[in-house]
Every structure is written in structure tokens, then in C-alpha cells.
Amino acid sequence: MEKLFNRFASATAKITGRPWTFIACLLLVLVWAATGPLFGFSETWQLVINTGTTIITFLMVFLIQSTQNRDAAAMHAKMDELIYAVRKADARFIGIEHLTDKELAVILNEVEQRALAIHAGKPARAITGKPAARAEEIEAEQPPKARAKRPVSKAGA
């Protein structure tokens, strides 16, 4: 059921984001407006467009939000992997989307201050605070005996 919904939401978002879909909707509204004199601009005539647009908007919100949530999650996973893969990158940035707004604001402020300094011609500097340790770094710091006793995972075998 979830895969079917995801495919439907993605296809709907793709279709509704195209210029021809907008033009078709615009033409529909123009046809509705042109029929106003025919129906005497009645309340029923107005109710047709109001009800139709409300229902479509209500349903589209959920479809688009679903698509955006999946896209954002995929983007976070990709960015986290890139941060992890780049040795000089600060691993503290991995998973920052799970921080509180206050914690995120502190990091954002530091990044913005660094960007302003760079644009002012100053050399780039690391974000303040102790960088997060990577698994390889922690393992390398272990005594040789501790590394030898570590169980081998099936993925690494």
C-alpha cells in the first residue's frame, strides 16, 4: 500500500508541476468564468469552483507533502554520506536535522559568520567546538588488543 501511494504521490507531483497542467487549470477557470453570465452568476455557479478547488487543494497538500518528505529524507541521507566520506568535513553535521531549533540556530549562525568572513576575504575557519569523532578515528585510538577482539560484522566479512 505504501509503495503504491508513494508512486501515486510522485507521479501526481510530477504531473501537477508541469506548465501544461497549469495552463489546463487556467483554461478551466476561464471557461468557468465565461459561463458566469449563462448561469446568472448564481450561488451554485460560484459553489462549483469553490468546492472543486477546495477539494483538489486539500488532497494535493498531502500528496505534495509526502513527496517532499521523501525527497528531503533522501537528500539528508546523501548529504550525511558525503559528510562522512570527506575526511576534512565536520562529522557533527551528520543528522543535524534532528537537533532542536535552538541548537540548529547556533550552528547556522556559526556557518553564516564563517561565510561572511570568507566573503570579506578572510581565510576559512572551522566551526568552533570539538569536531565529532569518526568511527575509524575511535578505532585507531584503541590499543591493538582491543581492535583484535572486536567481533567482525557480517557486512564487513
Percent of the chain topping pLDDT 70: 87
For residue 36, pLDDT beyond 70: yes
Question: Of the candidates 136, 153, 150, which has an alpha carbon nearest to the alpha carbon of residue 91?
Answer: 136
| C-alpha to C-alpha distance for 39 and 32, rounded to whole angstroms | 10
Q: What is the mean pLDDT of residues 88-96?
A: 85
Higher per-residue confidence, 146 vs 144 = 144
Strand stretches in 11-51, DSSP E: none
Distance set, CA 103 to CA 15, 83, 129, 130 (Å): 38, 19, 13, 15
Q: Specify the pLDDT at position 157.
A: 45
42 — pLDDT class (breaks 50, 70, 90): very high
Give dist(CA 99, CA 45) in Å, integer.
Answer: 50
Mean pLDDT of all residues in the chain?
A: 86
pLDDT at position 142: 77
